[in-house]
Amino acid sequence: MKVMTVFGTRPEAIKMAPLVKALKKDPYFETIVCVTAQHREMLDQVLDLFNIKPDYDLNVMKKGQTLSMITSDVIEGLDKVLNEAKPDIVLVHGDTTTSFAAALSAFYHQIPVGHVEAGLRTFDKYSPYPEEMNRQMTGRLSDIHFSPTIRNKENLLRENVAEEKIYITGNTVIDALLEVANTKYDFDGELGSVLSSGKKLISVTCHRRENLGEYMANIFQALADIAKEYKDVEIVYPVHLNPLVRDAADKYLGGLDNVHLIEPLTYQPFTKLLQASYLVVTDSGGIQEEAPALGKPVLVVRKETERPEAVEAGTVKLSGVERKNIYNDIKDLLDNKQSYDKMANAVNPYGDGKASERILKALKEFSIGK
């Protein structure tokens, strides 16, 4: 079975890497990797770490790229690649514009689509934006769906996806996390001193398009309030390479002694940073899955989440996008041991590290059933 995986951003690469590795190991599959490079540097960091050498690289990233630019460049680029490679199935991941455009392109070529991380929903068109519609549209275009959880499967059933096309696999992010989490990594420089200071560490990531502007200002101001009030707390924020995010981070958080704005970390040290953290403040999707597995409380700075499983398990709290609420939630976790202990439980609703294995098994069934 000729399987082409298509991905382009950091999170897709992290979550597709274990699957690519598993596909390559199994002689049943011929594996072709096509990257769109919607992200350049942040994608390459992951490709290097997992030692993946793409067969095709569309190299679409541009500074200040719009959603239309990414969509049209990916569709146009994939035309040539799909004509040449003629895969039996194209696998895409999650909810990025790369995923949606690649699924659409495969459909234009009448090639079946497999959706990894299928069925996550907020049912709010603009939150997260454009990811909610990207994943809904990718779902419509897909012939086989790999859902991390039962709830994700139920979302798809409600959209009349045939039950036999949905497989509950767990999330491949746990496969990736387990691969790197137990490796050794020594920090040096600024981060090395922060981590060995013994102070409480708050890790932060923030990049979502719908948070750009007023909400991001609120989030950063809340963090600045905390940094000024708590001199015994260190805040570490590996800042996304999006220039709009970097400008806002510099504006509100630059120049504070105990706030460390650093470059994006490769995946291995980033997981070590999570492990060393007291708590995590983030608008990321993947980190809502990783931090609970590591027993770290997560405050999600978004209006909604498509990952309610960890909220229900108690380790993730939806903190919203208002300065006061975020400030209060961080303060409560810093000051109130009971609140902290209630959230700091290692729970893992997202899988057991065997998601890739299950996806391979499902792909074999799919290929025989055709």
Query: What residues act catalytically?
Result: 95, 117, 131, 207, 209, 240
- Name the binder of 205 from ligand UDP, ligand UD1, none, CB < 5-8 A by kind: ligand UDP
| Cα 102 to Cα 127: distance, rounded to the nearest angstrom | 22
**265 touching ligand UDP, by CB under 6 A:** yes
* 251 vs 361 by CB, closer to ligand UD1: 251
Residue pair 180/271 in contact by the 8 Å Cβ criterion? yes
| Cα 341 to Cα 126: distance, rounded to the nearest angstrom | 34
- Name the binder of 24 from ligand UDP, ligand UD1, none, CB < 5-8 A by kind: none
Using CA atoms, how far residue 275 sits from 260, 284, 365, in Å, is 17, 17, 38
- Name the binder of 287 from ligand UD1, ligand UDP, none, CB < 5-8 A by kind: ligand UDP
- Choose one: 62-70, 228-236, 262-270, 296-304; the region binding ligand UDP (CB under 6 A): 262-270
Cis before residue 130, ω within 30 degrees of 0? yes
* 32 vs 179 by CB, closer to ligand UDP: 179
Contacting residues toward ligand UD1, per CB under 6 A: 9-11, 38-42, 61, 63-65, 67, 95-97, 130-131, 207, 209, 240-243
What is the b/e burial string over 222-250, where b = at least 16 CB atoms within 10 angstroms of the residue's CB? bbbbbbeebeebbbbbbbbbbeebeebbe
Identify residues 206-235 at the interface with ligand UDP (CB under 6 A): 207
* Least gap, CB of 284 to ligand UDP (angstroms): 3
- Name the binder of 242 from ligand UDP, ligand UD1, none, CB < 5-8 A by kind: ligand UD1
Residue type, 256: L
Return the residue of 50, 220, 267, 327 that touches ligand UDP, per CB under 6 A: 267
| Residue least distant from ligand UD1 (Cβ) | 96
For residue 27, with 0-12 CB atoms within 10 Å meaning exposed, 13-18 middle and 19 or more buried, which class applies? exposed
Cis before residue 87, ω within 30 degrees of 0? no
| Cα 134 to Cα 98: distance, rounded to the nearest angstrom | 9
* 93 vs 317 by CB, closer to ligand UD1: 93
| Cα 288 to Cα 293: distance, rounded to the nearest angstrom | 9
* Least gap, CB of 149 to ligand UD1 (angstroms): 19
How many residues of this chain interact with ligand UDP, rule: CB under 6 A? 15
* Least gap, CB of 258 to ligand UD1 (angstroms): 25
* Least gap, CB of 207 to ligand UDP (angstroms): 6
* Least gap, CB of 93 to ligand UDP (angstroms): 10
* Least gap, CB of 368 to ligand UDP (angstroms): 33
- Name the binder of 243 from ligand UDP, ligand UD1, none, CB < 5-8 A by kind: ligand UD1
**272 touching ligand UDP, by CB under 6 A:** no
* 41 vs 229 by CB, closer to ligand UDP: 41
**295 touching ligand UDP, by CB under 6 A:** no
Interface residues with ligand UDP (CB under 6 A)? 10-11, 14, 205, 207, 238, 264-265, 267, 270, 284-287, 290
